[in-house]
Amino acid sequence: MVVILVAVASVIFHFNENFGIQTLGTAFGEMPRSLPVPHWPLLPFDEWRALLPAAMTIAVLGAIESLLCAVVSDGMIDDRHDSNQELMAQGIANMTVGIFGGMPTTGVIARTAANVRCGAQTPIAGIIHSLTLLVILLLAAPLAKHIPLAALSAVLVVVALRMGEWHQFARLKRWPKSDVAIFLCAFGLTVTVDLPTAVGASLILASALLVKRLSETTQVDADEAVTQAASLSQTTAGRLIPEGVVVFRIFGAFFFGAADKLESSLRRSGQLPEVLILRMRDALALDATGLDALEDLFEKLQKQKKQLILCAPHSQPLFALTRAGFIDRIGMDNICGDMDASLARARQILVEKPGKPA
């Protein structure tokens, strides 16, 4: 309403001629009366390379915004969206709109919520919304030349203030310190530098803090008591551990942020045992660094003619170990499904070693 009233006032009082106030028409010329002609952008390679970081940032922001919008609308209409379909449609739309010289598109919570509150239940509402905007563009765009730039600036200031979500600052004292750091990093860099820089720095900071959190939850220790295993067959409680056998438990994600914990725990235990059983039931993930740590441990044991047994590895670690050829090196006999089978295999190994107690 403000933009319409100010545009009418601009026509009546001739803001530009009488007061020197810039309008869209005086600043940018005549407004288009039709859709732009599609054309493939011709840019030098250096400009394409310069655009790539900003394009990636906008793509990530658009995906996050659209999926968040879809989740919110699901709750409003008691439905369930298809994330893959949503992102594919958005990607096709953004590639198409770029050929027409348009701005990137994304799902927006404000418009979607308004649509739902007005009774929208199916994608037909979104189609009607798009057709309505097209009609407004074709009929009203030529009249936009009378809108003063100052009025648009005021609208943008109000929009920015409403988008700020200032109430979140009052909640910072109750948030984890890591989340507060990410929030303030994104906010500060967006205001002082630009959005792509803020998103990139915040993602890097969030990734580093995620690695820190995961590494803190990963544990490698001697399994000497009842653990959190759901099945008693996976614990050492009540079982006789043969002399020369040590059982270690890996709990959490065994990845590059925590791979050194295995070597540290073994160093604290002293000399390598004749048979080392790694209980991997609680190791939910394994990356290349964790795989390297296991391979280094296996090689150390092999040099000293000692043996390694893996007890109940999860599907993802087992697949990674198989693909890397580690299972072939260690042998399927040394991959056991539970603690009883692992201890039985350890006793067999000790028996086969002359002079070693069984």
pLDDT digits (tens, 9 = 90+) for 278-303: 888 888 888 888 888 888 889 888 88
Asked whether the predicted pLDDT for residue 195 surpasses 70, the reply is yes
* Count of Cβ atoms closer than 10 Å to residue 183 Cβ: 16
Mean pLDDT of the chain: 82
Q: Is the pLDDT of residue 320 over 60?
A: yes
**What residue ranges of the chain are covered by domains with CATH 3.30.750.24?**
219-352
**CA distances in angstroms from 136 to 34, 100, 131, 144, 351, listed in the order given:** 11, 18, 9, 11, 86
Q: Are 260 and 289 in contact (CB under 8 A)?
A: no
More confident residue, 347 or 220: 347
Q: Mean pLDDT throughout 51-68? A: 85
219-352 folds as Transcription Regulator spoIIAA (3.30.750)
pLDDT band at residue 162 using 50, 70 and 90 as cut-offs: confident
The two beta strands, 245-254 and 275-279, are parallel
Confidence of residue 228 (pLDDT cuts 50, 70, 90): very low
Which of 209, 282, 262, 34 shows the shortest CA–CA distance to 139? 34
% of the chain residues with pLDDT over 70: 90
Q: What pLDDT is stored for residue 354 in this prediction?
A: 63
Residue 208 makes CB contacts below 8 A (sequence gap 6+) with none
Q: Determine the straight-line distance between the first and last CA of the chain, rounded to whole angstroms.
A: 88
Mean pLDDT over residues 203-207, rounded?
87
d(CA 137, CA 140): 6
Q: Which residue has the higher pLDDT, 151 or 116?
A: 151
